A and B are shown apart, each in its own frame.
Chain A
Amino acid sequence: MKALVTVMPKPSVLDPQGAAAAEAMRHLGLDNIGRVRIGKVVEIDLPHGADEARLHEIARDLLSNPVIEDYTLEVVK
């Protein structure tokens, strides 16, 4: 089984990487696009029956910083 943790900057946090990527997309002719945000995905291989509550703690305390980021956790069987 795998866990996928997606970490995204909070909407209120400046994301200059996303802004720069959006600008490049417009240069390439992709008009009418809105805001672009860049985050990261952490893929974790796990034994079956891993403790999901513990995974949430790790995602909150290590993989993301709640001051600037939000995370979602998806467990893929």
Chain B
Amino acid sequence: MKFAVIRFPGSNCDQDCVGALAAIPGASADYVWHKDTSLAGFDAVVVPGGFSYGDYLRCGAIARFSPIMKSVKEFAAAGGPVIGICNGFQILCESGLLPGALVRNRGLHFVCRHVFLKVEQADSRFTRAASAGQILNIPIAHGEGCYFADEETLASLNRNGQILVRYCDKDGNTSDAANPNGSRENIAGIRNEAGNVFGLMPHPERACDPALGSTDGLVIFESILNG
């Protein structure tokens, strides 16, 4: 399975993503520049983290209008798997591929540390290698990761099982104390209604090697791979 890792000016997790994917048997990855217009030959798309366009205006607001995003939208509309990580999640929300938005962290600080995530749905294209309720140890690194959506959107996300991971403590309690950024309902990652687009603030590509303290991120990429 060949992954396209999109590179915008200011992306900085693109190499981590390619490195993590290249080490997984059965996966390969290559960079796609934001001015390119084709995703031909790729089986999955990763929109990586970073600070595309310097986070000017709003995080992901300008990347949304990059030439490659038209192809990413067509790829998603055709059912291809798309995962947005951190800034990639922000870009997918700005693009309208995922509902809601990411705003400034409740505590105003940039938060960079390992957190625990509870897998809420283990039947999705992005979490099926996990078990329901499994707790993942994956790092976050963001200043604007507070997930916001109105009541109606939250209700439909819950109803459709679109909330795949929530912030929790080490015992799996999705408490306010375990919420690092003020996200509504401790939401760390959601999928679209069709189930083939996933965005999350934590960085699974930074948790794919024992030397980095956790290999729990592999579960996400292996789920995509086993499709």
What residues make up the interface of A, taking CB atoms closer than 8 Å to B? 9, 12-17, 20, 62-63, 65, 67-68
Contact = CB atoms under 8 A, between A and B. Distances in A.
Given A62-B61, A67-B101, A68-B101, A12 B106 contact: no
26 contacts: A9-B103, A13-B103, A13-B148, A14-B103, A14-B104, A14-B146, A14-B148, A15-B104, A16-B105, A16-B106, A16-B107, A16-B108, A17-B104, A17-B108, A20-B108, A62-B57, A62-B61, A62-B65, A63-B57, A65-B58, A65-B101, A67-B99, A67-B100, A67-B101, A67-B149, A68-B148
A15 B182 CA distance: 11
A36 to B, nearest CB: 14
Most B-side CB within 10 Å, residue of A9, A12, A17, A68: A68
B107 to A, nearest CB: 7
A9 to B, nearest CB: 8
B65 A16 contact: no
Q: Which 6 A-B pairs have the closest CB atoms?
A: A67-B101, A68-B101, A16-B108, A16-B104, A65-B101, A16-B106
Nearest to B149: A67
A14 B150 CA distance: 12
Interface of B is mostly: loop
A67 B148 contact: yes
B83 to A, nearest CB: 21
Interface size class of B (residues with CB under 8 A): 20 to 34
Contacts of A62: 57, 61, 65
Contacts of B61: 62, 65
Contacts of B93: 67
A14 B182 contact: yes
B185 to A, nearest CB: 13
A68 B106 CA distance: 15
Interface in B43-69: 57-58, 61, 65
Q: Which of B61, B105, B107 has the most chain A CB atoms inside 10 A of its CB?
A: B61
B58 to A, nearest CB: 6
B216 interface: no
Contacts of A9: 103
Interface string B142-163: 0000101110000000000000
Contacts of B150: 12, 67
B93 to A, nearest CB: 8
Contacts of A63: 57
* Max count, chain A CB within 10 A of own CB: residue among B93, B104, B149, B182: B104
A25 B94 CA distance: 33
Given A20-B108, A63-B57, A67-B99, 6 more contacts: A14-B104, A16-B107, A16-B182, A62-B65, A67-B101, A68-B101
